[in-house]
Copies of this chain bind each other. A is one copy, B any other.
Amino acid sequence: MAVYTHLSAEDLADLIGHYDVGELVSAKGIAEGISNSNWLIETTGKNGNGARFILTMYERRIDLDDLPFFLDLLDHLSATGAPVPRTIHDRMGASSRLLEDKAVALIEFLPGVSIDRPTPAQAYSVGRALAGLHLASEGFAERRANTLRPQDWQAIVDDAGYEAIASIDASLPDIIRSALPDLLDQWPDHLPRSIIHADLFPDNVLMLGHTVSGLIDFYFACHDITAYDLAVTHVAWCFEPGGQEFRSEVSRALIEGYESIRPLSQNERDAMPLLARGASMRFVATRVQDWLDTPADALVTRKDPVDFARRMQYYQRTGAEVFAR
């Protein structure tokens, strides 16, 4: 959470001049995004009524070849009315520009705040928004493969090594070893696919009261199993924040909200426990990687992979029960 690059007011005013959005009025570096720098930009607006934008500079982690996919996806989804920020194109029509050898994009600002501990009503609204996103993506022809599939989780774990993983928590290696083979063997290949967000944690959702006002940070979006996105969202929303205690009312509300827009097929429902264990493992794997890559004395807070290992165990214990109609 930082601004990695200094942009002077002169740089920013020059950049804004390439867009038909009026004159620069204010620019504040914001503490959002872990791999990009972001500024909240205010301009006089096209008609002098003022307008706000998020300026994102892509610092690392994101393959620039994927950038058109991400930005075109925002345009496609927002055009369908989904609560997704649209990309502002420059006067030449480009969705991104280069500034100091880095790609930047100007993106619509959406109101709303990210909540830490959702109410059932908020989870219901998130379920609806996620299903709406899945339906809205149907006409979008561009493709990006998921780079975090079961074989990728296995590779991350192999790369880290069980000795290092045990140094995080002594119970982790056994939990991972007992779950990964089944996930690889049983991972479904027959379920419906679509564009998925793949990282819809509460900090990637903006809320006004109980209603979703924005879905943001699409930098893991890809084409993969649609129901897996609901599983990712389930593991991210339905436990106590930073903990392991299951919140059954939030779970019910999330699934009900989703199904009010896009009912799950029987095949999808049957696969949900497996997909939820997989979603948990995906975050165990990447958090193990981040944990081992981040020095213990770094200023960045390391996210503990143990929570997600315990959430995976919860799905193992409860089986189909959580997702039963």
Contacts and interface: CB of A to CB of B under 8 A. Distances in A.
Interface string A211-243: 000000000000000000000000000000000
A208 interface: yes
B40 A28 contact: yes
A164 interface: no
A207 B42 CA distance: 13
A208 B25 contact: yes
Nearest to A299: B299
B24 A28 contact: no
A13 interface: yes
A289 B94 CA distance: 47
Contacts of A29: 1, 30-32
Interface in A99-138: 111-117
Nearest to A32: B28
A15 B9 CA distance: 32
Contacts of A200: none
A10 B42 contact: no
Nearest to A208: B25
A27 interface: yes
Contact of A113 (B1, B12, B112, B115): B12
Contacts of A26: 111-113, 206
A39 to B, nearest CB: 9
Contact of A30 (B40, B116, B208, B299): B40
A3 interface: yes
A318 interface: no
A266 interface: no
Contacts of A184: none
A206 to B, nearest CB: 8
A30 B1 CA distance: 10
A62 interface: no
A166 interface: no
A8 interface: yes
A304 to B, nearest CB: 15
Interface in A23-56: 24-32, 40, 42
Contacts of A113: 9, 12-13, 24-27
A145 interface: no
A2 interface: yes
B115 A207 contact: no
A27 B114 CA distance: 9
Given A9-B113, A29-B30, A30-B40, 10 more contacts: A2-B31, A2-B299, A8-B115, A8-B116, A13-B113, A25-B113, A26-B112, A29-B31, A30-B31, A31-B31
Interface of A: 1-3, 8-10, 12-13, 24-32, 40, 42, 111-117, 206-208, 298-299
